[in-house]
Chains A and B, each alone.
Chain A
Amino acid sequence: MPGLITMDDLTNEEIISLLDDAEKLLPVARGELYLPLLQGRILGNLFFEPSTRTRMSFETAMKRLGGDVVNLGDVKTSSVVKGETLFDTIQMVDGYTDIIAMRHPRQGAAQYACDSARVPIMNGGDGAGHHPTQTMLDLFTIRQAHGTLEGLNVVLAGDLRYGRTVHSLSHALVRFGCNVTFASPDSLKMPEEIVADLREHGAEVVETDNLLDQINGADVIYMTRIQKERFPDEEEYAKVAGAYKLHARDLDGAKAEMIIMHPLPRVNEIHPSVDSTRHACYFEQAFNGVVARMALMCWLLDVKIPEDVNSAGGVL
């Protein structure tokens, strides 16, 4: 069954077509228009580890399109604690639902589920692996700000080793000819096999440990959270994390149209002073999760989005 496990499951043409669809659905996501394209369909939300934005935006997307959602709920109270295999969980849930969104702490879980299921699986994060639906909303946000995905200078900063959002995103950016710069402490560098893959695709990848030097040339700065538990002691963490923080005063030389993104939640890496600058884009980015996931679910369920949604939809 087709699903979205990694960005390799989509061609560039399919990505652009999905972004176009997402754009059409903006008034539906905002609640300005009622368009029940997925009425009667049920989404299974299987989040085996915590999620706020991904889970809620999948749920919002399905409900705004007239469908319904069933949730796995807290893993601690589900069959998983009784030792149920992922295979068995998927066999059960795909009998209840038409499409599944899943997050799992084990890498490869989404592909495994996809090979086990009869309904489409959408990977909402598998360990430190992939998070392609986040990539779709990231690409949507970048295109919305710059009008294109091609040839942009994108700086990915922070925890590039464990941050699955940046793994999926960097692959996609390179496919659209973006120049990517990885700014991270040495211990949290982008995994070598990903850098090798990107270079194999012809990308010029720059790796640095200095974020501030990259600001003026960037069209997009994509920040990620550096997690304390990745460091042997507090002092080491404080030293490293301090170098990957943005404050409004750091942005004086930035291009006017440069945007700052973050998959959220943020801790200290973006100072609240940045929120009121023209560069802050992370809350809009979080909202875009709804349209991106709406478009994706319609596509996977083979539901066409009308050219003119305004005349197809009704008032809420």
Chain B
Amino acid sequence: MSQEANMRRVTAIKNGTVIDHIPAGEALSVLKMLGIEGYMSNPVSLVMNVPSKKMGAKDIIKVEDRELTQNELDRLALVASDASVAIIRAYSVAEKLEINLTEEVVNVARCTFSNCITTNHREPLPHRLVVTSRDPLELRCRYCGKTQDLEGLLDNLL
């Protein structure tokens, strides 16, 4: 199926953000990481497991009337570091953004180690996960030093 056909699965948006090339099956995690939930008023379109030349299969998300910021997008590095992001204005791509994996992932997810000090939800300091390897992705908690279980992190999103 062509790229065009994929994009036609949902209508073009007038204004907002399109996140393409999300690894197949991760779109819901991406929404969770961006804090996009059902009760919000913006229309959100989502397609999952559509064919992709580059990736075999992929997910796409379109968020209408909302331009995601670079900070918001950088949170996605944990699940969709190679996703492509376009800001749409008046049906045209106005800007292309990249997702950056910063040296430290702050307040995105809680440490996955059950005996870490940060598992006390009332402790106020930020949750800080240090990137110790980019490929393959490896993160360690700044406080307890434990290597993070990447799947577990998705259950620990803040």
Contact = CB atoms under 8 A, between A and B. Distances in A.
B10 interface: no
Interface stretch (B14-22, B41-49, B93-101, B138-146): B138-146
A86 interface: yes
Contacts of B7: none
Contacts of B111: 108
Interface in A100-119: 104-109, 111-112, 115-116
Nearest to A105: B115
Nearest to A115: B125
Interface of B: 111, 113, 115-120, 122-125, 141-147
B120 A108 contact: no
A106 B117 contact: yes
A3 interface: no
A193 B147 contact: yes
Interface in A16-54: none
A6 interface: yes
A151 to B, nearest CB: 28
A111 B116 CA distance: 11
Nearest to B147: A193
B139 to A, nearest CB: 13
A231 interface: no
A128 to B, nearest CB: 8
| Central interface residue in A104, A106, A116, by most chain B CB within 10 Å | A106
A83 B121 CA distance: 12
| Across the A-B interface, the 3 shortest Cβ-Cβ residue pairs | A108-B143, A108-B144, A107-B144
A116 B115 CA distance: 19
Contacts of B124: 85, 87
A129 interface: yes
